[in-house]
Amino acid sequence: MIKTDVKYMRMALELAAKARGNTSPNPMVGAVIVKDGRVIGKGYHMKAGTPHAEVHALREAGELSRGATMYVTLEPCSHYGRTPPCSKAVIAAGVARVVVAMEDPNPLVSGQGIQQMREAGIQVEVGLMEKEARELNEVFIKYIKTRRPFVVMKSAMTLDGKIATATGHSRWITGEEARRLVHLWRSWYDAILVGIGTVLTDNPLLTCRLEDRQAQNPVRIILDSLGRLPVDVNVLKTIEQAPVIVVSTEKIPRERKAVLEKLGAEVLVLPEREGRPDLAALLDELGRREITSLFVEGGATVNASFLKNRLADKTVWFVAPKIVGGPQAPGPVGDMGIQFMDECLNIKNMSVQDIGPDLLITGYPDYGDKEPAAGKRGRCRCLPV
């Protein structure tokens, strides 16, 4: 590895990230072509069904591609999908060396693109800045391996761990900068999920309201076991802005289901678990619809359900420099049945950054290989949502 390789791969990663929120169900990919110390072509995958990053870069470089080096953040595809295979385009262009950040986890590719290029006489090197490439495409990696969406759980609490006062008032815990970031995240992920309690309390829109990204609203999902969603809530008033899926059970009254459907919402009836929609079944269904990412903005009960059932992949937690106090003020996670500290769910790979006056703590739940501790003592149950 040399410094110039790192420089150009970083450029490719930055190009790839420009399409964040636009490529689902495809990954974000960037490519840079260099010859004689000069960038002669670059590109990134902009949207599913459009040319891949390598094709954009090769078109820009033209005949100069022959004998050049290509830096690409993900192994060039080797199969016919929505577009032709990129590995063959790279070979045909006469590229001499290809530096790949990571192999494609897609079983349809998974090393075959690299093999094809090597068999054609191209020098292929794999693994430069692989960690950064995996972080960039953590959504795609989870989805392509499991066919379930990558689940990001967001919460905001005060310094003493409260998400509202004892009266339920919660606007606003965080500052303007954090709220703006949350709207940006909404534009990145395919779907957003809340429980019926959040809708009844806050009546949110669940849309992205950044001026330059308003067209990138997520699918709005509401967990509503009994069909309690009022007909005059904001999500139904703005149904032309983004689809609404009400996730319920057989307990929803037929008349209520018909009313919601007439207003334009989809009512998804799922199997029950402890009388509530089975969240694992929900993720399976979303995966079948090519919804690759899910942004959870639920309350304490929803958060506990996702964590307890090992369904959250990432947590983004805001901590505001405020103190509410009082035993009746709720916290961000409901009952998980944990009785002993050695049963706690640990968070790994944490990072902390300042977002205005608030702290943002990002991490990944470490479920390990153990069964949920409360389950070992016969007390584990799926929490209501």
Along the 385 residues of the chain, how does pLDDT read in single tens digits? 588 999 999 999 999 999 999 999 999 999 999 999 999 999 999 998 899 999 999 999 999 999 999 999 999 988 766 667 899 999 999 999 999 999 999 887 888 999 999 999 999 999 999 999 999 999 999 999 999 999 999 999 999 999 989 988 888 899 999 999 999 999 999 999 999 999 998 999 999 988 777 678 999 999 999 999 999 999 999 999 999 999 999 999 999 999 999 999 999 999 998 778 999 999 999 999 999 999 999 899 999 999 999 999 999 999 999 999 988 998 999 888 889 998 899 999 999 999 999 999 999 999 986 554 434 433 333 333 3
Q: Which sign, positive or negative, has the C-alpha torsion 292, 297, 298, 300?
A: positive
Beta strands per DSSP E along 20-103? 30-35, 38-44, 69-72, 97-100
Q: Which of 14, 54, 211, 261 is catalytic?
A: 54
CATH of domain 1-139: 3.40.140.10
Q: Is 225 annotated as a binding residue?
A: yes
pTM across the whole model = 0.90
Q: Is 167 annotated as a binding residue?
A: no
How far, in Å, are 20, 40, 64 from residue 37 at the CA level? Answer: 29, 9, 13
Would residue 54 show up in a list of annotated catalytic residues for this protein? Answer: yes
On the CB side of 139, CA atoms within 13 Å amount to 27
In the chain, where does the domain assigned CATH 3.40.140.10 lie? 1-139
In the chain, where does the domain assigned CATH 3.40.430.10 lie? 148-218+279-365
Cβ proximity of 221 and 208 under 8 Å: no
Q: Is 368 annotated as a binding residue?
A: no
In angstroms, the CA 122 to CA 126 distance is: 13
Q: Is 344 annotated as a binding residue?
A: no
DSSP 103: -
CATH 3.30.565.10 fits 148-218+279-365, yes or no: no
